[in-house]
Structure 1
Amino acid sequence: MGTIDIVLRQARKLHLAAKSDSLSSAMPVLRRIHAAGIFPSKTLFALHRERGSIQRKHLLRLLAIEAGYPDWERFRPELAHWSPEALEHFKVADEWTPYLNAWFASEAQASAYAQAHGGRVVRYGPHAVVQASDAAMAEGARS
């Protein structure tokens, strides 16, 4: 699967979550939309109330902004040069939730922790998470 397909799939997942009636599904995505300034004149409360008007293009823009690009139109051509591993942070919510992972406000903080305790650093928006080593994850799965 190509990197563009990976991003399109992630945008679809975020879109479904943002429009969900479940507060625990919708709010994390709506907070990201709000933080990215996709709808600068709307409050988080207004975004939740009007979540049915959120379109896939808004989530694609969100992913572009979180990757450091101003919009999807400039992000999409760059994805052809990215490896799928560069998008590994999408797996954080999908695959890593059963495990205890350390979260940090910055990639530098996460790197310092990983150096001292092991694990792998993955940037997640402006934050970073340290995925426990495979051995630690396997031990956690057995308990």
Structure 2
Amino acid sequence: MAMIEYKYQPATMEQLTACIRWCQNQMQLRDWLIKLDTSIAAPPEVKLDGDDNGEDAHARVEYSTDTLKAVIWVPLARMAESNRNPIECLIHELCHIMIEARGVDAEDESLVRVISPMIYRLYCKENRIKQAREK
């Protein structure tokens, strides 16, 4: 699970889609077909961990480096109640794809936790988004 560095800020589907496109360019994932799902329930493509029935899940990604396809699930309705930033969660999941595409095991959260905050801050700076830091 990602560490929360920034508190909740509302985000629209358009903002999340723009974030995906920006990240695909920056992370050199232009060949990937990335589908975004923001529904409250996890889509069938997304596998949830063990006992996790999806009620506590905040974001997940399923991807295939063979087909270059990914499904990212970011349930927008849950973000406010759990004080999570949807754009930060989305970038975290995109980092899993980027790392795995380079041949490194993306299941190891430690590398993703180091890279995703840096990319989030760069994204906000380039797109003039005010970062609401967690206190």
TM-score, length of structure 1 as denominator length: 0.28
TM-score, length of structure 2 as denominator length: 0.29
Which structure carries more relative contact order (alpha carbon 8 Å, separation 6+)?
2
- The structure whose Rg is larger is 1
Higher helix share: 1
